[in-house]
Amino acid sequence: MKAAVYCRLSKEDGESESIKNQKELLSEYAAKHGWEIYKTYCDEDYSGADSERPGFNELIDAAKNREFDIILVKTQSRFTRDMESVERYIHGLFPALGIRFIAVVDNADTEVKGNKKARQINGLVNEWYLEDLSENIRSVLDLKRKNGEYIGAFPVYGYKKDPDNKNKLIVDSEAAEVVREIYRLYLNGFGKSGIANILNGRGVLNPTRYKQTNGLCYVNAAQTGNTGQWNRTSVGRILKDRMYTGDIVQGKRKKPSYKSKKLIQVPEEDWIVVCGTHEPIIDKETFEAVGRLLRERTKSTGMGTVHPLAGKVKCTDCKSAMVKTSNIYKGKRRSYLRCGLYAADKTQCAKHSVRLDLLENSVLYALREYIGKYFDKSVLKTLMDSTVESDKRNVLINESRKLEHEIERRAKAIRALYLDYSSGIIDKEQFKDLNGSFINEKSVYMKRLSEIRKRLSGYHKTVWSIDKLLNCLEFNALPRELVAELIDSVYVGESVSGKQKIQINWLY
């Protein structure tokens, strides 16, 4: 009789479940019964619920070819923890092929009549174990997320993991500069495709290739044949990622169950967000300005740029967005805006056509007046106050980082204390006193950290720099960045007797 031996070890198993110990037990069992060991199949660091185990699948293929007569495992859970697999293989395939299945420690043997119920109970217990383990792991990970710990396998582009704390992000200066440039280019009127072209032209590696070049075993499942080139999707993802403002955003996707490998999207209101957990690469003012432009769904010119008023101009009568058209006049290309509803159905509204360059000049003049009107000593004082507020925010961020360090120190001390107690180094009373002290200190620090994070979440308002406002009065062309910061919308009316009403709605 030929017996196939199957051994499995998962990451959470102890030393007693080692592959070596399993092999020795099963080899002795086979020798005792006079069976020849055909082959030993092994899977190390694999869960009992994983159907993609290489050794497991090799065993199943050999069984289908009737290459042996018996399958030997230490316990039924070593073979599988999935009830569906118990029924498919142990109670289905193997008996049909005439192959005997034996789990030595469980006394599970398909040749013994009346043993089937015991195997089914084992299968249910093993599946319940997996379900409980999955829930426990999920609860632990959610707690880490809520505490502001980064639990992703790989850091977001622009950051790297702190070598002293794998759950904390620190700035990767080289990649961070690329992120800052992407935001600058977008605010200066370049579209996502145009930005990708600029980066590719300079030979800048895309996030996937950059991580791989820096030694990370990172694979982007959404990409095929990655050449290291940027595209509009990768640029757009960076422009929308709040992580760059210093806030951790996690829990965007989840598995519907422990049996599934598929990830489903989680509604945004259920994401786990913790503010001020790491150094920002992009200030919130810039991030919000970019967000407004993205929400306006602007379209580029085809050259990777958008005009400064894109997405802002609307028809006075029907409130539809104005769309861009172009024609050739005396050998020169001219661009116009006209009512989007009129463009779709000429019976629904009027054209409201306006030359784009003339409209930009009108808005430019109004923008200069608007800034000049409010540029006085009181505004300068407000700006100084804003700088003070910014300094206060930095103080809070530094304090939060120190608190996080102290909390981690107390957590390590509690773990070390428990090991000392379990090893008999300290007695129960010493453990109780010291443990209580560490827990109380940790609780005080966590309470203060929670208060700071609430205060930090209120620092989302725009903080202008004095230099930025001084430069505003010197522009000669309409700057898209200022349009995004100051203008909510521009309404264009129908031209009457050569006059056309232009109404600007300001954000502030």
Residue 54: inside a domain, yes or no?
A: yes
Say how far apart CA 400 and CA 413 lie, in whole Å: 20
Which stretches of 457-502 are DSSP H helices?
A: 466-472, 480-486
The percent of residues in the chain predicted with pLDDT above 90, rounded, is 18
pTM, rounded to two decimals: 0.48
* pLDDT, tens digit, 9 for 90 and up, residues 347-378: 888 888 898 889 988 998 888 888 777 665 45
Q: How many CB atoms lie within 10 A of CB 461?
A: 10
Residue 485: inside a domain, yes or no?
A: yes
239 and 347 share a domain? no
Q: Answer yes or no: are the C-beta atoms of 191 and 304 closer than 8 Å.
A: yes
Q: Does 297 score more than 60 pLDDT?
A: no
Q: What is the mean pLDDT of residues 22-42?
A: 92
Q: How many CB atoms lie within 10 A of CB 366?
A: 15
Structure-token pair, residue 154: 């790989």
Q: What is the mean pLDDT of residues 462-480?
A: 58
Question: What confidence score (pLDDT) does residue 34 get?
Answer: 93
352 and 433 share a domain? no
Domain final position from 83, 111, 142: 142
Contacts 24+ apart (CB under 8 A), 112-116: 116/91
Q: Answer yes or no: are the C-beta atoms of 181 and 205 closer than 8 Å.
A: no
238 and 349 share a domain? no
Structure-token pair, residue 186: 């977008």
492 and 347 share a domain? yes
Q: Residue 448: phi, psi to the nearest 5? A: -65, -40
Residue with structure tokens 């409209």? 359
Structure-token pair, residue 393: 């925010």
Largest distance between two CA atoms of the chain: 108
Residue 66: inside a domain, yes or no?
A: yes
Question: For the residues of 303-318, what is the DSSP string, one character each?
Answer: SSB--TTTTTEEETTT
247 and 388 share a domain? no
* pLDDT, tens digit, 9 for 90 and up, residues 138-156: 677 778 888 888 888 888 9
Say how far apart CA 137 and CA 203 lie, in whole Å: 42
167 and 280 share a domain? yes
Q: Answer yes or no: are the C-beta atoms of 96 and 102 closer than 8 Å.
A: no
Residue 25 sits in a domain whose CATH number is 3.40.50.1390
Domain final position from 295, 325, 341: 295
Structure-token pair, residue 423: 């090893």
49 and 178 share a domain? no
* pLDDT, tens digit, 9 for 90 and up, residues 452-470: 887 776 654 444 444 555 5
281 and 191 share a domain? yes
Q: Does 191 score more than 60 pLDDT?
A: yes
Say how far apart CA 117 and CA 95 lie, in whole Å: 15
Write a three-state SS string for 35-103. CEEEEEEEEECCCCCCCCCHHHHHHHHHHHCCCCCEEEECCHHHHCCCHHHHHHHHHHHHHHHCCEEEE
Q: Answer yes or no: are the C-beta atoms of 43 and 9 closer than 8 Å.
A: yes
Q: Answer yes or no: are the C-beta atoms of 38 and 2 closer than 8 Å.
A: yes
Q: Does 302 score more than 50 pLDDT?
A: no
Q: What is the mean pLDDT of residues 28-48?
A: 90
User: Count of domains in the chain?
Assistant: 4
360 and 321 share a domain? yes
Residue 426: inside a domain, yes or no?
A: yes
Question: What confidence score (pLDDT) does residue 298 get?
Answer: 55
Dihedral sign computed on CA atoms, order 390, 367, 363, 193: negative
Residue 306: inside a domain, yes or no?
A: no
Which stretches of 90-153 are DSSP H helices?
A: 94-97, 116-146
Say how far apart CA 288 and CA 308 lie, in whole Å: 17
Q: What is the mean pLDDT of residues 2-15?
A: 78
224 and 266 share a domain? yes
Angle at 330 between CA 327 and CA 333, to 5 degrees: 35
Residue 354: inside a domain, yes or no?
A: yes
Residue 400 sits in a domain whose CATH number is 1.10.287
Burial class (CB in 10 A: 0-12, 13-18, 19+), 234: buried
444 and 343 share a domain? no
| Nearest one of 170, 157, 300, 313 to 237, comparing CA atoms | 157
Domain that holds residue 125: 2-142
Query: Identity (one letter) of the amino acid at 411?
Result: A
State the DSSP H helix or E strand holding residue 487, giving kind and residue range, or none if neither: strand 487-492
What is the chain's alpha carbon radius of gyration, rounded to the nearest angstrom?
Answer: 33
Question: In which band, very low, low, confident or very high, does the pLDDT at 258 lie, cut at 50, 70 and 90?
Answer: low
Residue 256 sits in a domain whose CATH number is 3.90.1750.20
490 and 346 share a domain? yes
Residue 86: inside a domain, yes or no?
A: yes
Domain final position from 142, 177, 202: 142
Q: What is the mean pLDDT of residues 381-391?
A: 53
Residue with structure tokens 């598929």? 262
Structure-token pair, residue 296: 């306006």
| Nearest one of 52, 51, 25, 49 to 40, comparing CA atoms | 25
Residue 53: inside a domain, yes or no?
A: yes
Q: Does 429 score more than 50 pLDDT?
A: yes
Say how far apart CA 422 and CA 430 lie, in whole Å: 12
